[in-house]
Amino acid sequence: MIKCVVWDIDNTLLDGVYLESAGQPPPADPALTAVLRELSGRGILHALASRNPPEAADYVQAATGAQFAAARCGWDSKAESVRAIAAELDLATDTLAFVDDDMIERAEVAAALPEVLVLTPEDAGQAPQWPDFSPPVLTAEGRRRAGMYAARQRRQAEAAAFGGSREDFLRHAGTRITIGRAGTADIPRLHELSVRTRQLNSGAAALSEDDLAALVSSPAYLVPAVSLRDDYGDDGIVGVAALARNGAGSWPVPVLMMSCRALGRGVLEALLGWLSRTAAAAGATGLTVPCLITDRNVPLRLALAAAGLRAAPGSAAAGERAEFSRSLTGPLPPVPDWLTGWDGTS
Amino acid sequence: MNLTGELAGLLAEVTGHPELAALPPAAPLFGGEAGLDSLSGARLLRQVHERYGVDVAAEDLNLDALQSLGALAAFIADRR
């Protein structure tokens, strides 16, 4: 599924060449302007990769009326620009499409990044009809995605200029993490998360709305939904877990996933702290997270390691499932003081 | 520069905290002063893979190599 389209400017989004026009730059291409708007409405992000000077990005933004979550203008290769945009947005490159009228630029990106979907402007005109550009579910969070990435740009710029530690910045930004009991109304958003998130996901298969409805209504599970906001913006529900009640034994966590928008904001770490403390308060002696080992979800394994969960060394290779666990009888992983929890008993 | 020093430089780069270039080799990377998290940790592992050709995530299920800069340097040195 495509999460972000990286667009060339000259003879792609503009009907002409930005720098070759004396005075007034060329107008936006009307067909692709409509595609930008349609895809934004589906929660797909846009970015710019161009050899024009940076002010061309401002012009294109004004001419198309679209929001661009990232822009690379300069003399880097297009493949380098696409890679940098993926890193800046914390998206995997196989969720990106690249649109350019220049055959050589397309060939260069296709050779360097074969996982990127490379399109001509004519192809891109058809893109709204293709399944890769048609998310199966679209929620309020999904429709607000472009605005959330704009908030994220402001947050990252301030974080880079901020002198103190990461914790200090999260506090300074007014970070609020709220853990609530997932209800029926949350199911479309939780399904959307399970379809989209791979970097912070312990499982592989998406959970259907029926799977989620069964979990949410089962007395055997606690299903916390995690919401995130700060002074820069409100990201809505960014994560979910399922914690299976297991008496005085180790409590399994068969579902653990978090939007990549929450990366670097201490949310998964906070959720693991909350799960540990909630299970321990109910008498659990341990916490166990089965986790599929993939090259995509390394960030999840980092959070598990940071929270003190360990698997038997060598017990799983790539594509296999490992059981990460920790004791809950000693000191527990911390939860930040900006987390508001649900006590899990009601 | 020795390997531990190079890794401290990478850590400063991925976290955006220049003072971490002086982190002692035995200091913990998770929690504490370094405050490595899932984002900066993934960036560090990507840099290590690119620069030294060692894929820590593929070889070390529990990521024990990230306990400290010294542990990471030893892990890399063993595989070069």
CATH code of A119's domain: 3.40.50.1000
DSSP state of A336: -
Closest residue of B to A160, CA-based?
A: B16
- Distance in angstroms (rounded) separating the CA atoms of residues B60 and B49: 13
Same structural domain, A300 and A200: yes
Hey, of B61, B63, B67, which one would you mutate to test binding to chain A, going by the most A CBs within 10 A of its CB?
B61
- A30 pLDDT above the threshold of 90: yes
- The answer as to whether A70 is a domain residue is yes
Give the torsion through C-alpha atoms of A121, A127, A133, A139, to 10 deg.
100
Predicted local distance difference test score (pLDDT) of residue B33: 80
pLDDT-derived band of residue A264, with 50, 70 and 90 as boundaries? confident
Express each pLDDT in A238-263 by its tens digit.
Answer: 999 999 999 999 999 999 999 988 98
Percentage of chain B beyond pLDDT 90 is 71
What does the block give as tokens for B55? 């894929």
User: What residue numbers bound the domain in which B64 lies?
Assistant: 3-78
Predicted local distance difference test score (pLDDT) of residue A324: 97
Sign of CA dihedral A264, A269, A270, A275: positive
Q: What is the mean pLDDT of residues A194-204?
A: 88
- A344 pLDDT above the threshold of 70: no
CB contact under 8 A, B61 and A315: yes
Identify the weakest region by mean pLDDT among A160-169, A201-210, B50-59: A160-169
Predicted local distance difference test score (pLDDT) of residue A164: 81
Same structural domain, A224 and A90: no
Q: Output the average pLDDT for chain A.
A: 92
Same structural domain, A123 and A26: yes
Identify the weakest region by mean pLDDT among A30-34, A101-105, B17-21: B17-21
Q: What is the mean pLDDT of residues B51-60?
A: 94
Predicted local distance difference test score (pLDDT) of residue A34: 97
Same structural domain, A79 and A169: no
- A271 pLDDT above the threshold of 90: yes
Express each pLDDT in A126-149 by its tens digit.
Answer: 999 999 999 877 888 888 888 888
For B38, which of A160, A299, A314 is closest by C-beta distance?
A299
Predicted local distance difference test score (pLDDT) of residue A254: 96
Predicted local distance difference test score (pLDDT) of residue A345: 47
Number of structural domains in chain B: 1
Three-class SS state of B28: strand
Per DSSP bridges, beta strands A224-230 and A250-252 are unpaired
Number of structural domains in chain A: 2
**Chain A residues touching B31 at Cβ < 8 A:** 306
**Chain B residues touching A83 at Cβ < 8 A:** none
**CATH number, domain at B44?**
1.10.1200.10
Express each pLDDT in A60-95 by its tens digit.
Answer: 999 999 999 999 998 889 999 999 999 888 888 999
CB contact under 8 A, A299 and B62: no
What does the block give as tokens for A20? 């070759």
Same structural domain, A67 and A192: no
Percentage of chain A beyond pLDDT 70 is 99
- The answer as to whether A145 is a domain residue is no
pLDDT-derived band of residue B1, with 50, 70 and 90 as boundaries? low
pTM: 0.84
Sign of CA dihedral A85, A304, A280, A242: positive
User: What residue numbers bound the domain in which A63 lies?
Assistant: 4-133
- The answer as to whether A143 is a domain residue is no
Task: Find all residues with CB under 8 Å of B46, minimum gap 6, and list them.
Answer: none
**CATH number, domain at A265?**
3.40.630.30
Say whether residue A257 is in contact with chain B using an 8 A CB cutoff: no
Same structural domain, A114 and A168: no
Q: Output the average pLDDT for chain B.
A: 92
Of A133, A154, A174, the domain-final residue: A133
For residue A233, the number of C-alpha atoms closer than 13 Å in the C-beta half-sphere is 21
Same structural domain, A196 and A124: no
**φ and ψ at A95, to 5 degrees?**
-105, 15
CB contact under 8 A, B66 and A305: yes
Closest residue of B to A161, CA-based?
A: B16
Of A133, A152, A171, the domain-final residue: A133
Identify the weakest region by mean pLDDT among A17-31, A107-121, A210-224: A17-31
Closest residue of B to A311, CA-based?
A: B62
Q: In what order do the strands lie in the sheet with A286-292?
A: A250-252, A286-292, A321-327
pLDDT-derived band of residue A343, with 50, 70 and 90 as boundaries? low
- The answer as to whether A286 is a domain residue is yes
Same structural domain, A192 and A245: yes
- A346 pLDDT above the threshold of 60: no
